[in-house]
């Protein structure tokens, strides 16, 4: 799928796909719904006057519920037998293929154990040294002497897709195409045909690469996946293709958004930015607070496999049960003053990476990438501050959230 439209901007396309501008601040509505009941009856998108396309899972049923409280969210996420992931098959599964997103145990457990072989501690250390640090610092090199930059467009948006391409051992020349394909895979609600075309093109591309790696393994993720083994079984080609299709948008999209949200939190709270600069032991706390305060993805969904009660609400078999990660991360019974960005708050686990059997398999990679980009900015951009003459900086979106711009001055 070659896109010959020279006006095509993957950044703007990704923004549109995620619904940027549709909702500026969903948290007051989240708080109202959570206060009324820990499990909301109805589609979350309807509470904002938005179409069904903003739902995580679209299935033909009028029975929709949303876990809004932290307790309700954990109950749903930890019980994969009662709350199935198969609903994704009819939405994002159309373009990803049969991926880990829509699997239940025991299939999910087998698949997860195989792909985790590509996310070992040794692999993380190798990628940090060989890929992530050089990529991040190479991007900073382009604007460090200018005294001003847009941290989103020039750093947080481009660096994760460079990392993913490097992990897969793909040529640098193919990067623009992969960025476009990742966008089209996400935007199936806006253009399903384009998404399906991107899906097939990616399969065709990866087929040759995978065959080569099976014959001649290299030090890249595709080689690890090609030779990963569990009880004498290996991943099939189609299982690997589905994971690679998922990795492109998931690995690039969520890290771009989480790192952008973190910088937005720090830049709008300059005292906390300077505290982290002065005391690097606060880096981990800052990353976790950014993820709690503004998770990049606000919701995921499940299908009830039986009649069940969640937080006192009766949910019938076959109903869609979404989990509002954003609302759960702002539950005041767990996080006092939840709307406040505070890197020194009492540390309690958040749900930005979900919970239970489907906890994000790439969360350690995401944390490492975010740490590296934050440390690079702290080390190389002194006196960092928002550009006072730039338009208002804010995070936007409902299903996916991030600032569209982060214009800064430094030096």
**Beta bridge partners of residue 324, listed in sequence order:** 299
Low-confidence ranges of the chain (pLDDT < 50): 1, 3
pLDDT (0 to 100) of residue 60: 66
Which among 319, 320, 341 has a CA at the least distance from the CA of 330? Answer: 341
**Helix ranges (DSSP H) in 190-236:** 192-215, 221-227
> Strands, E, within 239-398: which ranges?
299-304, 308-310, 313-315, 320-324, 385-386, 395-396
C-alpha distances in Å from residue 119, one per residue of 105, 112, 156, 222: 20, 11, 22, 12
Look at residues 403, 395, 358, 327 and name the one whose alpha carbon lies nearest to residue 150. 403
Do the Cβ atoms of 287 and 370 come closer than 8 Å?
yes
Scan for tokens 């890929």, then name that residue.
131
Q: What is the pLDDT of residue 248?
A: 84
Which residues make Cβ contacts (< 8 Å) with residue 386, sequence separation at least 6? 267, 268, 393, 406, 407, 408, 409
Are the C-beta atoms of 87 and 301 separated by less than 8 Å?
yes
Say if residue 212 is exposed, middle or buried (CB neighbours under 10 Å; 0-12, 13-18, 19+). middle
Report the Cα 168 to chain-centroid distance in Å.
18
State the pLDDT at residue 1. 44
Pairing status of strand 308-310 against strand 229-230 = unpaired
**From CA 209, how far away is CA 378, in angstroms rounded?**
38
10-409 placed in CATH 1.10.630.10: yes
């Amino acid at each position: 799928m070659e896109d010959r439209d020279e006006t095509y901007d993957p950044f703007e396309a990704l923004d549109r796909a995620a619904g940027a501008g549709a909702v500026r601040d969903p948290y007051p509505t989240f708080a109202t719904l959570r206060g009324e009941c820990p499990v909301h009856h109805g589609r979350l998108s309807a509470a904002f006057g938005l179409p069904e396309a903003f739902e995580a899972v679209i299935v033909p049923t009028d029975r929709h519920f949303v876990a809004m409280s932290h307790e309700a969210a954990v109950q749903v996420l930890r019980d994969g037998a009662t709350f199935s992931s198969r609903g994704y098959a009819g939405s994002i599964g159309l373009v990803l293929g049969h991926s880990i997103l829509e699997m239940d145990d025991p299939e999910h457990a087998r698949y997860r154990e195989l792909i985790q072989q590509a996310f070992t501690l040794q692999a993380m250390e190798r990628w940090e040294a060989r890929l992530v640090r050089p990529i991040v610092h190479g991007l900073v090199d382009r604007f460090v002497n200018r005294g001003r930059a847009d941290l989103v467009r020039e750093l947080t948006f481009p660096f994760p897709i460079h990392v993913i391409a490097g992990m897969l051992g793909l040529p640098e020349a193919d990067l623009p195409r992969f960025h476009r394909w990742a966008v089209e895979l996400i935007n199936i609600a806006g253009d399903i045909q384009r998404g399906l075309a991107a899906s097939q093109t990616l399969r065709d591309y990866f087929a040759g690469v995978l065959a080569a790696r099976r014959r001649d393994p290299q030090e890249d993720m595709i080689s690890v996946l090609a030779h990963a083994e569990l009880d004498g079984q290996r991943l099939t080609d189609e299982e690997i293709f589905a994971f690679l299709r998922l990795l492109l948008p998931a690995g690039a999209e969520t890290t771009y958004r989480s790192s952008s949200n973190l910088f937005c939190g720090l830049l709008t709270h300059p005292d906390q930015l300077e505290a982290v600069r002065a005391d690097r032991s606060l880096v981990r706390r800052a990353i976790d607070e950014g993820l709690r305060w503004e998770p990049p993805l606000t919701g995921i969904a499940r299908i009830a496999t039986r009649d069940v009660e969640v937080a006192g609400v009766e949910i019938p078999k076959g109903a869609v049960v979404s989990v509002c990660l954003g609302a759960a991360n702002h539950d005041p019974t767990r996080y006092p003053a939840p709307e406040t960005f505070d890197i020194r708050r009492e540390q309690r686990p958040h749900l930005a990476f979900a919970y239970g059997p489907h906890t994000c398999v790439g969360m350690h990679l995401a944390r490492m990438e975010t740490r590296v980009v934050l440390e690079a900015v702290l080390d190389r951009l002194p006196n960092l501050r928002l550009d006072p003459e730039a338009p208002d900086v804010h995070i936007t979106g409902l299903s996916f959230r991030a600032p569209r711009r982060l214009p800064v001055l430094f030096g």
